[in-house]
Amino acid sequence: MKKTIKLILAISSIFILLVGCSSKNKNMEEKTDDKRIVKTVMGDVEVPTNPENIVVNWYIGDMFTLDLNVVGYNAWEQKSMPFFDKFEGIKKIENWEPEEVMTVNPDLIITYNEEDYEKFSKLAPVLVVREQDMNSVERLRFLGEATGKTKEAEEAIAKFEKKLEESKEMLDTEKFNGKTFSILEDWGPTGEYSGIGYETGSRGGTLIYEYLGLKYPDKLQELIDKTQKTREIISYEVAHEYFGDYILWFLQEGKESAYAKTDIWKSIPAVVNGNVVTIPGEYAGLFFYSDVTSLTAQVDYIANALNSLGE
């Protein structure tokens, strides 16, 4: 009888051990002590649990928001960016090639471009996050989870969403309800890129159209639907047809707008009604990126600027 009991106990112990090992292995598919598996468009990628030397291009703002240690970046920096001071001491990678990237010894590379996966995967794990796959909030949350910075991500998202709701309430008045908005920039009367450029994503477009939910003028919407282009340049001769009830008018740094000196400019309803927010060229950096920190700073600027029109 004692032998039978011992045998049953031994078998039970082995069973418990096997179940425990099975559960442990299941979890290890996602995370070990120093690595985690991140599911990406390029497949599962094993990344450091706490990356210490990150190289990044377009998502530089997300890295700063998450308080990650960036050792190299291939991106633009400008003093009006809300995180401009964080660029100090970081190597700017002018040539986005393995020979230069490897000089900063990255343990993680983060990019928007699928081609970078093969290009850099021999140097370090590469996380590819395509812009079309996630919005700004989703991307920050994803990158926070991938790098062990979920707390920082959620705090930044909460701050942005609070300001966003406050701005929506501020703009929910008869003054703006049902009105259309265009984001436009004068590229000059001559040259390769002459005309008036419209924006849908950069220069505040992500904030204006995606998060504040403001609308394009019908003719501009038709053009976007037809061309499937998120930005394009329209000739001086017909540009006035694409102006909305309200305009975010971007100036280029160090340049005046030639178009704003024409007679046709003076006849545009948004101009006549004083519904133009002119954004000086030195603020180009503030509206360049669409990370959550940039959007948070943009929402303050835009809401206050729009609200002050007509005062």
pLDDT band at residue 191 using 50, 70 and 90 as cut-offs = confident
DSSP state of 287: T
Q: What is the mean pLDDT of residues 52-79?
A: 97
On whether both 177 and 226 belong to a single domain, the answer is yes
Q: Give CA 253 to chain center in angstroms.
A: 23
Amino acid at 160: F
On whether both 168 and 275 belong to a single domain, the answer is yes
Q: Is residue 243 part of a domain?
A: yes
Q: Is residue 69 part of a domain?
A: yes
On whether both 109 and 144 belong to a single domain, the answer is yes
On whether both 264 and 171 belong to a single domain, the answer is yes
How does pLDDT run across 209-266, given as a tens digit for each residue? 999 999 999 999 999 999 999 899 999 999 999 999 999 999 998 888 999 999 999 9
* The pLDDT value given to residue 32: 57
Whether the pLDDT of residue 52 is over 60: the answer is yes
CATH code at position 245:
3.40.50.1980
Whether the pLDDT of residue 54 is over 70: the answer is yes
On whether both 172 and 284 belong to a single domain, the answer is yes
Whether the pLDDT of residue 2 is over 70: the answer is no
* The pLDDT value given to residue 31: 56
Q: What is the count of structural domains for the chain?
A: 2
On whether both 102 and 182 belong to a single domain, the answer is no
For the chain, strand residue ranges (E) read 35-40, 43-48, 54-56, 70-73, 91-92, 108-111, 126-128, 181-186, 196-199, 231-234, 246-250, 276-279
Handedness of CA 275, 169, 131, 84 (dihedral sign): positive
What is the extent of the structural domain holding 226? 158-308
Q: Which residue has the higher pLDDT, 190 or 84?
A: 84
Q: pTM for the whole thing?
A: 0.86
Q: What is the mean pLDDT of residues 271-286?
A: 95
Q: Is residue 77 within 8 Å of 62, Cβ to Cβ?
A: no
Whether the pLDDT of residue 51 is over 90: the answer is yes
Q: Is residue 27 part of a domain?
A: no
Whether the pLDDT of residue 16 is over 90: the answer is no
Percent of the chain scored above 70 by pLDDT? Answer: 89
On whether both 292 and 222 belong to a single domain, the answer is yes
Q: Is residue 279 part of a domain?
A: yes
On whether both 110 and 233 belong to a single domain, the answer is no
Q: Is residue 167 within 8 Å of 299, Cβ to Cβ?
A: yes
On whether both 104 and 41 belong to a single domain, the answer is yes
On whether both 103 and 237 belong to a single domain, the answer is no
Domain boundary among 127, 148, 169: 148
Q: Is residue 28 part of a domain?
A: no
On whether both 49 and 142 belong to a single domain, the answer is yes
Q: Is residue 12 part of a domain?
A: no
* The pLDDT value given to residue 65: 98
Q: Using CA atoms, how far apart are residues 294 and 62, in angstroms rounded to an integer?
A: 9
Cα dihedral 236→237→238→241 (10° resolution): 80
How does pLDDT run across 97-141, given as a tens digit for each residue? 999 999 999 999 999 999 999 999 999 999 999 999 999 999 999
On whether both 215 and 96 belong to a single domain, the answer is no
